[in-house]
Every structure is written in C-alpha cells, then in structure tokens.
Amino acid sequence: MTQTQHDADQDIVLECDQVNRWFGGLQALKGISLSVRKGEIFGLVGPNGSGKTTLVNAITGFYPPQQGQIRFLGEPINGLKPHCIAQKGIARTFQNVALFRGLSVLDNILLGRHIFMRPSIMASLFYWWWAQKEEVAHRVKVEEIIDLLQLESVRDEPVDVIPLGMQKRVELARALCAEPRFLVLDEPMAGMNQEEKEYMVRFILDAREAMGTTMLLIEHHMDVVTAICNRAVVLNNGEKIAEGPTREAINDPAVVTAYIGKVKDAA
Amino acid sequence: MFYRLSGIHHTRYESARALWPVTADRRIVQGLLLLAVAAPFLLSDLYLTSYMLPWLIWTAAALSLTLLMGVAGQLHFGFAAVMAIGAYTSIHLTRAGVPFELALLGAGLMAALIGCLFGAAALRVKGLYLVMATLAMQYLVEWTIINVPAISGGAQATLSTPDVTFLFIPLQSDGALYYTALLWTVVVTLLIMNIKRSSFGRALVAVRDKDFAASVIGVNPLKYKLLAFFASSFLGGVTGAVLAFCYYQAVTPEQFGFNVSIQLVAMVLVGGLGSVIGAYLGAGFVLLLPIVLTNLLAFVAQFDLIPISFNLLSHIPLMVYGALIIGVILFEPLGLAKIYDNIRKYFLVWPFRHTQS
C-alpha cells in the first residue's frame, strides 16, 4: 500500500461496503459501496425512488442493511439502534422537516445537545442546584449555533409558526448542536425559493468551515450539488451508476440516461 | 396595564429560563401561595377540609397524570388504579410499623413498579391500544385488591388509616392534614414545571412529538417512555397515599374505580394537556363545579319560583356539568389553561391587540 493510499484510508469517515437492503421482494439497495473522506461534502443524487433515502436510513440505523457493512471511523455500525448511532456522532436532517412541534425553536435546538446531557428526574426536581448549571452550559453552545445560522429573531417562537425555510434552518441547527463528525442532509433545500436556497448553501459551507463537519448531501438541485459537493455518487433503482468528482459523475452518460432517457427511447 | 413587559431584559440565561420571568406573574403566584398558606385561618373547617383539601390532592393527581398524558403523550385510562396501589401500600406499610415518610416512598415505588409493568405495553402500542392496556390495568388491580383479603382486609372491608406523624407533626388536626397536602402539591407542581424546562422534559416531548426524530438525535424512545410511566406512577402512588391519609382516612376499592380514572382524564383534558395551571383549573372544574352547581340550584329552588321535583333537582346539576365539559372542549380544545393564557395575553399587550407569540 502506498503512502497516499494509506492516508486516504485513514481519512475515511464513513464507508459502506456492499450494502444490500430488501423490502419484501423489492431490492431497494443493490450492493452499494461508497466512502466519504474527512471534511468533504459528498453528494448523493439520483431520480426519485432510486434508494438515496433508504441508504441514509441504513446508515442512521432505521433500516439496517440485511447484507454488507457500514463502518463509521473504522467501526462497524450496522445493526446498532438509531439512538446509539446518534451517540457515536452521526446526525441527520429529514426530507420533510422533523421538528418537535410542541416546543419552541430554542428547545428544539437544545434537544440537539441531548447526547451530551445527563437528563434525570432528580436533576429536574433539584433544578436550581443540579440541572440549571448543565442547562446554562449547553445554552452557551446553542447560542453559538443560533448565531452561526442567524436564528436570533425566531429563538422564542413556537417552531410550527415559522416559515418552512426557517424550519429547515432550525433542523440544521439542531443537527449541528450535536457537534457531529458526520452529518447527513436529506434534501435541505426541498421546497425552497432561490433566495432561501442560497442562504442554505451559505450556511452549510459556513458550518463546514466553522466546525469541520463531514457531510453527505442528498439534493435534487443539480446547481447546488455541482457547486458545493467535492465528490458524488449517483444511484438509480438501488444501483450505483456513477461515482467520482461531482461534475464528472453527473455528466456520466449513464446518469443522463437515468434522468432523461436515451435518444432512441423518444417516441 | 397589569402586566408590563417593558423593562424586562434578561442578561443571564438563568433568569431567562426562570419559572415566572414576568414580574406580574411572579406576584400572582406569591399572592396565591400566601393565600394557600393562610387558608386554615381564613376558611371555615368545612371549606378547608371538603373543598380546599381535596382540590389540592386531586390537583397533584392531575399533575402526575398530565406528566404522562400531556408531556410524554402516553394515554393512561387506569390512573385511579395507580393511586389505589399507593394508598393500599402506604396503609399496609404504616400498619406494619414503617414511618409514614418511608411508607410514602414505598407507596410511590410500588405504584411505579406495577405502573411500569403495564406501561411496558407502551413500548409496542400507541393510542387506543395503549388505552386498552391501561384499562386492563384498572380492572386487574381493582380485582386483585377486592379479591385478596390480605390487601383489602376482607370482602366489602374498609381499611382505616392508622395514626401517623409526618415530619414529627401528628397528622390529626385539620391544619396538619391540609399543610401535608399543600406541601405535596407544591412539590409536584415545582417538579413538573422543572421537568418541562430541563433536558428530561424535552426528551419526553421529543418522543411524544416524533419518536423517529427523537432517536436520530440520540434519545432512546423506549427508555423515556418507561421513565415517563415510572415518574408519573410514582407521583400518582404517593398522591394516592396522601389522599388516603389526609382526606379519606378509610379506603375501599370503590374509591379508586374506573369512573375515578375517567374523572382524572377529564381533569387533564378540560384543564389542558401538559399544562400545570391546567391541572389546577381542571381539578377545580371537575371536582368543585358539581358541588357549586348543586348549591346554586338548591339556592334558586328555595324561592319556589318554578316547581322543580326533587328528582329533577338532583339531575339538573349533572346535565349542566356534562354540557359545560363539552362546552369547554368545543370552545377551546386546548382547555382551560389556554383560555387563561388568552386572557393573560390580552392584558399583556393591552390596550393593543397583537401579541408577539
């Protein structure tokens, strides 16, 4: 093994090795292998139903793969429960915003600190002497993230009254608060207008710069993918059809075929 | 006017998360607490022991249930059984010579243990199915108490509470009973309010609102569902013991029947799910309104303006009471707590119309 090869292996944060997942007779993931290197934004694209979200669900533990292995920092994580995987340092956002509607923006973001906190009934009972110190310490970190993502104005609002673009930003804030080493963004710009989209791109880049987070980005906006992703994998029908530096992967003839069909297909 | 938000600026995170950040709210709470402490000197014995005392204890019960149903989102239709376990455990423990303070702890632990056993159903089922599981608890516990003479003291038996002391004060005078109940209700109130503003409560709400999103941020949904059942059943068990010693002073299984469970659910729903002030208002509504209505009608009837038969006289309060419960739920599905909140916000911005949140 050459030195550069060895360095690249050292740098791998997340590695999927021949991941297979069936739902009954439907094979949603067919032997997917990919590796995400430290500090990069890795694009995951493909037409609807190609298995992007299934792969993410396999990584975060909701649909553990029936075959194959997923390694996080060299350690196998398939088969672990989602909350255990979260504690190892993998965070994610959801395609359709999954915020806690009964809580304020601040409480939602504070929940991102859950893995660092020691919640207990006794700590709550003796709040002034026990829980308060912890709450305040984590509030400081949360305020840093609120600052980074410019959420000051909605901090105390109930989360279901703020606009969708803001909600997506709150979800990103909640994920970043966990100080993840690997962050999965599942269509963070779905349903956004051009301005909100550009803001979101800015925040993602800011977050990577400020925290050095490695990210996996699922997105249908190809302009965003080509603009910010270092490398990309394209899925179609559960298979990997292209991989490499983003622009090359997306311009691959197989990808063009998967999205808009072949010339002779046109009637 | 009454509330002033201007001039309230928080420079420390501690004060921003205080229980009552608005001065006017704090004054109201202080005033109410003062009234509650002074109640034995202000109210007649009748009002103290048959209105204030049960209201406080049932408020503690409603608070325990609202932690489970409102904050953690797990339905429970057998909460009277949880209280029964606490009541019977505490009586048997004190009869065996255990100090009352430890008996209260034992009552809570026993209720929490059995409550968790049935609550384990919540790990697999939600909603109506969980209602069925908790109903099963209600009937199983009731049946066991009635049919095991060692617990109930025999068929049709009434078990009276022995004389005990609480914190070196003998629980005999009305005052001592009242202050014990008040102390417990204040402790439960502070606990629920603190749970709601700390990481434990946030985790419970996360599991209630979206359990998959909760697990993706590292909250173990199974653990927190069980903890919710544990905490709520513990509080319910101790409240049952306090109810037995401070109010009933002699318990029978019928005092913890299914209708009591439904009344508790009504308190929580009418008051407002998950709300602390709602538990006070809901318990007051469900417990005291029938009495007030009956008294009101008896007062009206004594003038003989319209002839009302005795039969009708006893039924009208029930009809009005039922209509009022439906009325409140229809008028404000979020309960009395929301009505209070609306009024409070009206005064908060008076004479203007629009609130910030």
Q: pLDDT, tens digit, for every residue of A121-140?
A: 999 999 999 999 999 999 99
Taking CA–CA distances from A184, the nearest residue in chain B reads B216
Q: Evaluate whether A160 touches A101 at the Cβ level (below 8 Å).
A: yes
CA distance B240 to B247: 10
CA distance A119 to B352: 41
Residues in contact with B10: Cβ distance below 8 Å, sequence separation at least 6, in sequence order: B16, B21
Within 10 angstroms of residue A61's Cβ, the number of other Cβ atoms is 21
Model confidence at B348, pLDDT cuts 50, 70, 90, reads: confident
CA distance B240 to B82: 8
Same domain? A115 vs A129: yes
Q: Evaluate whether A178 touches B218 at the Cβ level (below 8 Å).
A: yes
Same domain? A26 vs A138: no
Q: Evaluate whether B73 touches B268 at the Cβ level (below 8 Å).
A: no
Q: Is residue A204 part of a domain?
A: yes
Nearest CA to B243 out of B53, B43, B33, B79 is that of B53
Say which of A99, A136, A178 has its CB closest to residue B218: A178
CA distance B233 to B236: 5
Q: Is residue A215 part of a domain?
A: yes
Q: Is residue A97 part of a domain?
A: no
Same domain? A209 vs A85: yes
CA distance A226 to A133: 45
Q: Is residue A266 part of a domain?
A: yes
Which three-class secondary structure state does DSSP give residue A239? strand
CA distance A42 to A34: 10
Angstrom CA distances, A204 to A25, A64, A185, A234, A243, stand at: 38, 28, 9, 21, 22
Q: Which residues of A touch B215 (CB under 8 A)?
A: 61, 81-83, 86
Nearest CA to A156 out of B21, B73, B278, B217 is that of B21
**Residue A94 structure tokens:** 């959801």
Domain boundary among A179, A194, A218: A179
Q: What is the pLDDT of residues B179-217, one digit of tens each?
A: 999 999 999 999 999 999 999 999 999 999 999 999 999
CA distance A205 to A148: 11
Q: Supply the pLDDT for residue B313.
A: 78
Q: Evaluate whether B321 touches B296 at the Cβ level (below 8 Å).
A: no
CATH of the domain at A262: 3.40.50.300
Angstrom CA distances, B206 to A63, B73, B199, B224, B230, stand at: 21, 10, 10, 10, 18
Please determine, for residue A161, whether its predicted confidence score (pLDDT) is greater than 50: yes
Q: Which residues of B touch A170 (CB under 8 A)?
A: none
Interchain CB distance below 8 Å, A132 and B14: yes
Domains and CATH numbers, chain B: 1-30 (no CATH), 43-349 (1.10.3470)
Q: Is residue A94 part of a domain?
A: no
Nearest CA to A183 out of A209, A206, A225, A215 is that of A215
Strands A41-45, A214-218: pairing kind:
parallel
ipTM above 0.95, yes or no: no
User: Mutate which of A59, A120, A124 to disrupt the B interface (most B C-beta within 10 Å)?
Assistant: A124
Same domain? A109 vs A222: no
Same domain? A244 vs A188: yes
**Residue B274 structure tokens:** 């998950």
Least confident of A175-184, A212-221, B6-15, B282-291: B6-15
Residue type, B339: I
Question: Helix B258-271 and helix B310-331: axis angle, to 10°?
Answer: 50
Model confidence at A1, pLDDT cuts 50, 70, 90, reads: very low
Q: Is residue A223 part of a domain?
A: yes
Q: Which domain holds residue A80?
A: 12-89+180-267
Q: What is the pLDDT of residues B115-154, one digit of tens each?
A: 999 988 878 888 899 999 999 999 999 999 999 988 888 7
Please determine, for residue A171, whether its predicted confidence score (pLDDT) is greater than 80: yes
Nearest CA to A174 out of A118, A102, A97 is that of A97
Say which of B13, B213, B214 has its CB closest to residue A94: B213
User: Mutate which of A59, A83, A136, A166 to disrupt the B interface (most B C-beta within 10 Å)?
Assistant: A83
Q: What is the pLDDT of residues A17-70, one digit of tens each?
A: 999 999 998 999 999 999 999 999 999 999 998 999 999 999 999 999 999 999
Which alpha helices (H) appear in B5-120, and where do they start and end?
13-16, 23-42, 45-47, 53-66, 79-95, 100-119
CA distance B344 to B275: 15
Same domain? A35 vs A139: no
User: Percent of chain B having pLDDT more than 70?
Assistant: 98
User: Percent of chain B having pLDDT more than 90?
Assistant: 68
Q: Is residue A95 part of a domain?
A: no
Q: Evaluate whether A112 touches A174 at the Cβ level (below 8 Å).
A: yes
Beta bridge partners of B170: B165
User: Percent of chain A having pLDDT more than 70?
Assistant: 95
Within 10 angstroms of residue B160's Cβ, the number of other Cβ atoms is 14
Q: Is residue A5 part of a domain?
A: no
Taking CA–CA distances from B198, the nearest residue in chain A reads A124
Interchain CB distance below 8 Å, A117 and B191: no
Which three-class secondary structure state does DSSP give residue B75? coil
CA distance A32 to A236: 11
Same domain? A36 vs A159: no
Residue type, B195: I
CA distance A120 to A106: 20
Same domain? A186 vs A267: yes
Model confidence at B157, pLDDT cuts 50, 70, 90, reads: confident
Interchain CB distance below 8 Å, B205 and A131: no
Q: What is the pLDDT of residues B242-293, one digit of tens each?
A: 999 999 999 999 999 999 999 999 999 999 999 999 999 999 999 998 888 8
Interchain CB distance below 8 Å, B210 and A132: no
Domain boundary among A124, A151, A179: A179
Q: What is the pLDDT of residues B302-345, one digit of tens each?
A: 887 777 777 887 788 888 888 988 998 899 999 999 999 999 88
Interchain CB distance below 8 Å, B202 and A110: yes
Task: Find the mean pLDDT for residues A202-220.
Answer: 93
Please determine, for residue B238, whether its predicted confidence score (pLDDT) is greater than 50: yes
Which alpha helices (H) appear in chain A, and where do they start and end?
3-10, 52-59, 82-87, 105-111, 121-125, 131-148, 164-177, 194-211, 222-228, 246-251, 253-260
Q: Which residue has the tokens 């004594």?
A: B302
- Measure A87 CA to nearest chain B CA, in Å: 6
Residue type, B89: T
Nearest CA to B357 out of A162, A108, A150 is that of A162
Same domain? A38 vs A48: yes
Task: Find the mean pLDDT for residues B37-41.
Answer: 95
Same domain? A81 vs A119: no
Domain boundary among A179, A200, A216: A179
Same domain? A164 vs A241: no
Task: Find the mean pLDDT for residues A86-92.
Answer: 94
Model confidence at A237, pLDDT cuts 50, 70, 90, reads: very high
Q: What order of strands is seen across the sheet that includes strand A12-23?
A: A26-37, A12-23, A67-72, A75-76
The tally of domains found in chain A comes to 2
Within 10 angstroms of residue B218's Cβ, the number of other Cβ atoms is 26
Which string of b and e fits B1-39 if b means at least 16 CB within 10 Å?
A: eebeeeeeeeeebeebbebeeeebeeeeeeeeeeebeeb
Q: Supply the pLDDT for residue A209.
A: 92
Q: Where are the beta strands (DSSP E) in B206-274?
A: 250-251
Same domain? A68 vs A199: yes
